[in-house]
Amino acid sequence: MKPKSRIVNIPVYQPGKPIEEVKRELGLDKVIKLASNENPYGSAPSVQQAIVDELSQLYLYPDGGAVELTAELAQHLGVQSNQIIFGCGSDEIISLTARAFLEPGDETIMADQTFSVYKSNAEIEGAEVVEVPLVDGTHDLHAMIAAVSEDTKIVWVCNPNNPTGTFVPENELISFMDRVPEHVLVVLDEAYYEYVVAEQYPQSVKLLDRYPNLLILRTFSKIYGLAALRIGYGIGNAAVVKLVNQVREPFNTSRIAQAAARQAIRDQQFVDDCRSKNREGMDVLLGEFDRLGLPYFPSETNFIMVDTKHNAMDIFQGMLRRGVIIRAGHQKYPTYIRVTIGTPEENEAFIRALEETLQEQTANV
């Protein structure tokens, strides 16, 4: 067999280790997963009821255009229905956008430590990836503009950035957008939008009228707690959304996902509660990191990237043995781990395991 030559060396996406696998491998009864930035408070009870109510309809194909959901979301966001596209997670909007815009010979710009799915999809389409170093864990929009060439098709800005949790403020984003040439699409990934509390964070939907080359990505996987259902969306200029729609499969989101997302939008109280509980958890964890003398990047998300001052893969293994799954292995930051903010009990167990692991590592040195 002869696969497409450019896909041969593309790494398979490595998700956070599943809880059941770790339990089995290590013979542990209790395992805590703080590795995939899921919502530790689950999803709203009203959304779970909407899913149950949809069960009798499973023999029917979903509405391929997600018309009712789109109309509700458009109203919620204050945009037109033709400015929204749904995907099987925002992952799919990333791949569809790459499919619609990138071809061999094109260049695409992204940070050197950001969400890995941009790079893999760009490479699948044969585009050349230009990686611009993060500065202090934050996108360097000046350097990103400087990297734009005649061949640039897409610039990816993950805001807040995964894995660092940092954000670019509205004034910087606006001066960046003012300088991006019209032939370049800017994909602004706001997967953690609902967790942000910083006042300088961009209100990006308001910018869509000004910048026809802006595409915003959001998801129901994070604060809405619906990662299993795989539903996310893009918001942009109608012409951009149409292009992405042209390469979309006919039934890319399920009936259950659409029903759940509709109810999730109506239940903003759940979102507000989760945002404030996340802040309380963040304050506790940052206090503990300060106590332990561990530096971290300022985060506007439901995760924190913290410098353990040891090889992060060793810390990962030590934590795993104690039944706590976190993330490590970030090329640019080999001593940092990324931890999702959990429930108060999970955060306490995480800190206990981290302290023990750090002591063990120090003893080993």
Give residues in contact with ligand PMP (CB under 6 A).
37, 89-91, 115, 158, 162, 189, 191, 219, 221, 227, 232
CB of 139 to ligand PMP, least distance (A): 12
Nearer CB in complex with ligand PMP: 117/240: 117
Nearer residue to ligand PMP within complex by CB, 31 or 223: 223
Contact present, 54 and 62 (Cβ < 8 Å): no
End-to-end Cα distance, the chain: 49
Closer by beta carbon to ligand PMP, 31 or else 229: 229
Whose Cβ is closer to ligand PMP: residue 90's or residue 357's?
90
Q: CB of 303 within 8 A of CB of 342?
A: no
Structure tokens at 73: 């979301």
Please, what is the minimum distance in Å from the beta carbon of residue 162 to ligand PMP? 4
Burial 346-362 (b: 16+ CB within 10 A, else e): bbebbbebbeebbeebe
- Residue 78, CA atoms < 13 Å, CB-side half-sphere: 7
The H or E element that residue 216 is part of is strand 214-219
Collapse the DSSP code of 327 into the 3-class scheme (helix H, G, I; strand E, B; otherwise coil) and give the result: strand
Give me Rg for the CA atoms of the chain. 21
Give the residue from 208, 218, 220 showing the smallest Cα distance to 266.
220
- Residue with smaller CB distance to ligand PMP, 225 or 281: 225
* Smallest gap from residue 91 Cβ to ligand PMP (A): 3
Residue with smaller CB distance to ligand PMP, 265 or 358: 265
Q: Which tokens in the block code for residue 205?
A: 């939907």
Nearer to ligand PMP, 221 or 347 (CB): 221
Query: In which residue are the tokens 């590592």 written?
Result: 361
- What single-letter DSSP state applies at residue 58? T
3-state secondary structure of 102: coil
User: Which among 110, 101, 115, 102 has a CA at the least distance from the CA of 129?
Assistant: 110
Closer to ligand PMP at the Cβ: 235 or 358? 235
**DSSP strand pairing (185-189 vs 214-219):** parallel
Residue pointed to by tokens 């003012």: 178
306, 32, 321, 279: CA torsion to nearest 10: 20
Helix orientation angle between 238-246 and 89-101, rounded to the nearest 10 degrees: 90
Closest to ligand PMP by CB, 88 vs 358, is 88
CB of residue 219 vs ligand PMP: minimum separation in angstroms?
3
Length of the chain: 365
Is the CB of 70 or the CB of 219 nearer to ligand PMP? 219
- Which tokens go with 184? 């370049």
CA-angle at 327, arms to 326 and 328, nearest 5°: 130
